[in-house]
């Protein structure tokens, strides 16, 4: 059976999430979405396998049937989103692909020349990672996987596991 892979989200990085939220609400004919501050505790983040902490990011999400439109305003501190905004200005940051098997999907990405993720977040119920696929696909991808990550999460916390080892 073929692996299930679907695009579930488009993330747009913006300078002002309140303004973008109001404008998207008008364009979509929907009420403005709630703006939340993320990331909550309980997610381990790594940038190039080094621990990273991201706080104060503001996000509004529109559930649009077959995908989510995410409007993300980065905090002023260093992050993948801040780097994107400073380099490119507002724009589409990534498409999110939900996959059944991260390792198999990473092998597929490697076949077209995409490197291992430069950013990854782990939580007990799954993970997400960012890969730079601009040369191969014209965009970055967020690769999401839901599953039981409790053992890996605990091993990362106690230092007996290293980020991205599960993909190698």
In a domain, 128, yes or no: no
Residue 28 structural domain: 5-120+133-163
Q: What is the pTM of this model?
A: 0.87
Q: What pLDDT is recorded for position 14?
A: 98
Q: How far is CA 54 from CA 45, 101, 132, 145, 161, in A?
A: 8, 26, 19, 20, 21
Q: How far apart are CA 29 and CA 48, in angstroms?
A: 40
In a domain, 108, yes or no: yes
From 74-78, 88-92, 139-143, the region with the lowest mean pLDDT:
74-78
Per-residue confidence band for 1, with pLDDT thresholds at 50, 70 and 90: very low
Average pLDDT over residues 40-60: 79
Number of domains in the chain: 1
Biggest CA pair distance of the chain: 50
Per-residue confidence band for 47, with pLDDT thresholds at 50, 70 and 90: confident
In a domain, 142, yes or no: yes
Is residue 55 predicted with pLDDT exceeding 70? yes
Mean pLDDT of the chain, nearest integer: 90
Per-residue confidence band for 42, with pLDDT thresholds at 50, 70 and 90: low
H-state helical runs in 10-163: 17-28, 80-88, 102-111, 134-137, 150-158
Per-residue confidence band for 40, with pLDDT thresholds at 50, 70 and 90: low
Is residue 162 predicted with pLDDT exceeding 70? yes
Is residue 70 predicted with pLDDT exceeding 70? yes
Q: What pLDDT is recorded for position 41?
A: 62
In a domain, 100, yes or no: yes
DSSP state of 54: -
Quick one: residue 160, left, alpha or beta (phi over 0 = left, psi -120 to 50 = alpha)? alpha
Higher local confidence (pLDDT), 14 or 77: 14
Average pLDDT over residues 123-142: 93
In a domain, 94, yes or no: yes
Is residue 87 predicted with pLDDT exceeding 80? yes
Is residue 103 predicted with pLDDT exceeding 70? yes
In a domain, 126, yes or no: no
In a domain, 99, yes or no: yes
**Residue 49's domain is classified under what CATH number?**
3.10.180.10
In a domain, 144, yes or no: yes
Average pLDDT over residues 143-152: 90
Q: How far apart are CA 146 and CA 17, in angstroms?
A: 27
Higher local confidence (pLDDT), 26 or 81: 26
């Amino acid at each position: 059976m073929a692996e299930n892979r679907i695009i579930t989200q488009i993330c747009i990085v913006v300078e002002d999430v309140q303004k973008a939220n109001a404008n998207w609400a008008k364009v979509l004919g929907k009420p403005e979405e709630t703006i939340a501050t993320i990331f909550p505790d309980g997610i381990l983040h790594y940038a190039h396998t080094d621990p990273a902490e991201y706080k104060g990011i503001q996000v509004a999400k529109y559930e649009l049937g077959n995908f989510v439109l995410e409007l993300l305003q980065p905090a002023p501190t260093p992050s993948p989103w801040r780097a994107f905004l400073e380099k490119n200005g507002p724009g589409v940051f990534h498409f999110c692909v939900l996959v059944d098997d991260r390792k198999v999907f990473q092998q597929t990405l490697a076949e077209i020349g995409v490197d291992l993720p430069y950013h990854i977040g782990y939580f007990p119920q799954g993970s997400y990672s960012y890969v730079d696929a601009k040369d191969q696909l014209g965009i970055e991808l967020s690769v999401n996987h839901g599953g039981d990550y409790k053992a890996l999460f605990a091993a990362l916390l106690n230092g007996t596991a290293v980020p991205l080892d599960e993909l190698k």
